[in-house]
Amino acid sequence: MEARSGIPKNIDDYIAQCPKEIRERLQTLRQTIHEAAPGAEEAISYKMPAFKLKGNLVYFGAFKNHIGFYPIPTGVARFEKELAAYHTAKGSVQFPNDQPLPLALVRKIVAFRVKENLERSAAKATTKK
């Protein structure tokens, strides 16, 4: 179900290309990410919605049977127990479309990724001095 009309220009464009029944889920996920990472910038990367804050933060995408959430490998590994109910891979999680989105868990994962990116950025700045 990925957006099929070419590369979307922005997240609004991506969501608009998805089926109506999925749009609300995507908007809710988007809002949840913004709440957990208020300074993050929206982008399209790998033809998917992405959030960046001192580097790549998280991505998400709509598929036929699930919403893919991509908090990179550290985000999945850190929350392995909490994500046990979902299909996961090295840097991805699948949230089935027939189940509620685990928004509290998404907030925790995004907050972890924000902290991780800010710490990495601060360490790089210290090293460069």
Residue pointed to by tokens 């998280």: 58
More confident of the two residues 121 and 67: 67
- 11, 40 contact by CB (below 8 A): no
Which letter does DSSP use for residue 7 in this model?
A: S
Q: Is residue 37 a part of any domain in this protein?
A: yes
Q: How many domains does the chain divide into? A: 1
Domain of 118 in residue numbering reads as 11-128
3-state secondary structure of 70: strand
- 9 is written with which tokens? 């220009």
- 92, 70 contact by CB (below 8 A): yes
pLDDT in tens, 10-47: 999 999 999 998 999 999 999 999 999 999 999 999 99
Q: Is residue 3 a part of any domain in this protein?
A: no
Q: pTM, whole model, 2 decimals?
A: 0.91
Q: Is residue 76 a part of any domain in this protein?
A: yes
Return the CATH number at 115: 3.90.1150.200
pLDDT at 3: 42
Q: Is residue 4 a part of any domain in this protein?
A: no
